[in-house]
Amino acid sequence: MDLQAIANDIVSRMESESDRGKVANYIPELAHVDLNKFGIAIAPIEGEVVTAGDADIPFSIQSISKLFALTLALKRVGATLWQRVGREPSGTAFNSIIQLENERGIPRNPFINPGAIVVSDVLLEGRQPDEALEDVLGLCRRLSNDETVYVDDKVAASETLTGDRNRALANFMKAEGNLREPVDRVLEVYFQQCAIAMSCRQLATAGRYLCAAGQPAGGEDSTVTPERARRLNSLMMTCGLYDASGEFAFRIGIPAKSGVGGGVLGIIPGVASVAAWCPGLDRNGNSRLAIEAFEELVRATGWSVFGPLVPPRRSQT
């Protein structure tokens, strides 16, 4: 299979797309990013990473960081985490408040904002915010094999200024007894981890730990056991794209995690890790063109955990 030709083809199709969605502007610093950017990187479990388009430009990974933070929190406290965070799709927006009150401060899953804020609390317990952040940043650097991965301070400052909704979620959980550390310190960790910047190449390389766990190519990496990788993948499948997770599973059929910076990381277990990026979002806060790119990719490669996608017959189009 010529992955380079497939990636090039996806980039040229995306270049001609006129409906590119809208950049996230509730975090003002993200509103400056150029809508015309598009990149894709495919990291097979063995061999060279294939890239096309703007695959080496770092972007704000935002909620994709929730995956790395969750990986570390599970290492820290194991399955006890599930007493404080659920494992069900939320069916609501990632920053919804209403469900949290109905469910007494226990977030539905670790990939919506309140769930990730609990995860930040777990990472912070017993240490300083910069130590907890170093843990997440260090994991991103180690997995991507690139020490240049950094926190974009402007994005972190921008979200700290405008993050009142997240403050509301965190204060409510504190009132319900589901946060142990002070709200400001928990959010300091959360806002900064969301502001980690990575390129598609770095992100796809990092995602290999989830597609290679238990495979010979997984080698000695002890980031996750094969069992935990399977569970993280299943959470990505059911909750990784918020309220659009069902639609993504229906159309594309691989575990994935999105962020409002416009990135999507997708895992094809045992095969490859893929990152796509275009900053324009759809109404659910997922990148419009990154999702299209994944659809093109699984159609061209047959990669889907539910079996190959067959190109539609002419009569059906």
First to last CA, the chain: 26
Q: Report the distance separating Cα 200 and Cα 264, nearest Å.
A: 9
Q: Residue 124 has which token pair? A: 């912070």
Confirm whether 260 is a catalytic residue.
Answer: yes
> Interface with ligand GLN includes 115 (CB under 6 A)?
no
Q: Is the CB of 68 or the CB of 94 nearer to ligand GLN?
A: 94
Residue from 62, 90, 158, 233 binding ligand GLN (CB under 6 A):
62
Nearer to ligand GLN, 29 or 296 (CB): 29
**Cα(95)–Cα(51) distance, rounded to whole angstroms?**
32
Tell me how far, at minimum, the Cβ of 140 lies from ligand GLN, in Å: 15
Residue 113 binds to ligand GLN (criterion: CB under 6 A): yes
Q: Which single residue brings its beta carbon nearest to ligand GLN? A: 63
**Which residues, in sequence order, are CB contacts of 216 under 8 Å at separation 6+?**
none
Please tell me the distance from the alpha carbon of residue 57 to that of residue 160, in angstroms, as a whole number: 24
In the structure encoding, which two tokens stand for residue 220, read together? 């000695």
Distance CA 10, CA 300 (A): 10
Q: Using the minimum distance from each CB to ligand GLN, give the nearer residue, 62 or 199.
A: 62
As a whole number of angstroms, the distance between CA 249 and CA 304 comes to 9
Q: Which residues pair with 268 in a beta bridge?
A: 272
262 binds ligand GLN (CB under 6 A): no
66 is catalytic: yes
Q: Which residues are annotated as a binding site for substrate?
A: 63, 113, 159, 166, 190, 242, 260
The verdict on whether 26 is a catalytic residue reads no
- Is residue 244 a contact point for ligand GLN (CB under 6 A)? no
Say whether residue 68 binds ligand GLN (CB under 6 A).
no
Is residue 166 a contact point for ligand GLN (CB under 6 A)? yes
Nearest to 199 by CA among 32, 61, 103: 61
Residues acting as catalytic residues: 63, 66, 190, 242, 260
Sites of contact with ligand GLN (CB under 6 A): 62-63, 94-95, 113, 159, 166, 194, 259-260, 285
